[in-house]
Amino acid sequence: MSRASAPTPFRDGFAALGHEPALLAAELAWRWCFGFSALVLGVVSIGLYLDSLKVSKADQFLLGTVQPQLLTEALRHIFRGSLSRFLLEQAALIFGLTLLWSFASAVGRAATLRRLVAMFSSSDEPEPTEWHFCSIFLLQLMRAMWTQIALAVGIVLFVYGSVMAGRERPLAAALSISFGVGFAALVGFYLNWYLGIAPLFCIRNGVGARDAVDQALSFSAAHSGRLFLMGMGFFLLRLVWAGTLWLVLLAPLNLAGKINDRWIALLMGMIVLVYFAGADLLNLARWGWYVSLTYEDSRPVEEVPSQTVQPPEMLPLEGLA
């Protein structure tokens, strides 16, 4: 009995996008809405901070001299005593953006995963009806918080290592910069990976956040080799896409002096949006590959009927005499 060749999960990931183009629209909607909101909130927070600064006539005079030393003295006087207020505003902004990203990613990821799971599940399995929003929101919130913690630890260790290097303590500097920062990045990457893929099992198996993380660990252990190879494959695709769009991004600069600079900026902005759209498409195809891989063992195998080889007819013994 022989087996017919089955579709690979890598091909299934891109085939799902061709079968359901609305998936890419949903992915772009929640990602770009969050990005636009974060950009607006960041600009508004910086504008409010700068508006709160007091600039005296003496500071205006020093700024008007355009002398480096006088400019430095004026900026020191303007920003004196405002560092604590700036840090408080940025902390509130980061906290708000963390909650906003967790909410947006929970809604967007639940919507796309529900559709992908329904596409790859077999006909005898019921389509999931629950969103499991609270579990996915908790996972995304933990993922965002852990990423921020790992980043903060890495920055603190790097600054500490730089200070130790300035004090001529090479061992402490080397351990802090190389081992400390590397360990923080490694732990942050692995936890970000497990928390990031866990929402798939919330939707597919209808479990809570804790059970979803346990199933993500089991899934990663069972398919570690294929996950690594396919992750490298998607990384190379992302790298090729980024390099190609970088060359295209520089092309409008050749039109400088021939058309208005605003048109050049508009063209470059459109190219940047095309890059983000392609990156989101690759990310969504990777999610389709994950979903297809979870259903790979349960796919029916097509059987090809084997042909029975008939033995040659035996001559009667009388004919051999």
Residue reference for tokens 């609305």: 22
Interior/surface letters 112-142, b for 16+ CB within 10 angstroms, e for the rest: bbbbbbebbbeeeeeebeebbeebbbbbbbb
Find the DSSP H helices in the chain: 9-19, 22-52, 57-65, 68-79, 83-120, 133-166, 170-174, 181-205, 209-222, 224-250, 261-294, 317-320
Q: What pLDDT score was predicted for residue 138?
A: 94
Mean pLDDT of 34-39: 93
Q: What pLDDT score was predicted for residue 238?
A: 92
Asked whether 146 and 193 are in contact (CB, 8 A), the reply is no
Q: Taking CA 127 as the corner, what is the angle to CA 121 and CA 133, rounded to the nearest 5 degrees?
A: 110
Q: Are strands 2-3 and 303-304 parallel, antiparallel or unpaired?
A: antiparallel
**What is d(CA 264, CA 209) in angstroms, rounded to the nearest whole number?**
47
Q: What pLDDT score was predicted for residue 99?
A: 94
Task: Tell me which residue of 181, 197, 107, 70 sits closest to 143, measured CA to CA.
Answer: 197
- On the question of pLDDT at 28 being above 80, the answer is yes
Least confident of 28-42, 154-168, 238-252, 291-305: 291-305
- 45-51 LR contacts (CB < 8 Å, sep 24+): 45/89, 45/90, 45/93, 48/89, 49/82, 49/85, 49/86, 49/89
Chain centre to alpha carbon of residue 102 = 13
* DSSP code for 3: E
What's the pLDDT tens digit per position in 194-229?
999 999 999 998 899 999 999 999 999 999 898 888
**pTM, full prediction:** 0.79
- On the question of pLDDT at 310 being above 60, the answer is no
Confidence of residue 298 (pLDDT cuts 50, 70, 90): low
Q: What pLDDT score was predicted for residue 129?
A: 52
What's the pLDDT tens digit per position in 144-170?
998 999 899 989 988 888 888 888 788
| Conformation bin of residue 66: beta by default, left when phi > 0, alpha when psi is -120 to 50 | left
What's the pLDDT tens digit per position in 248-287?
988 888 887 788 888 888 999 999 999 999 999 999 999 9
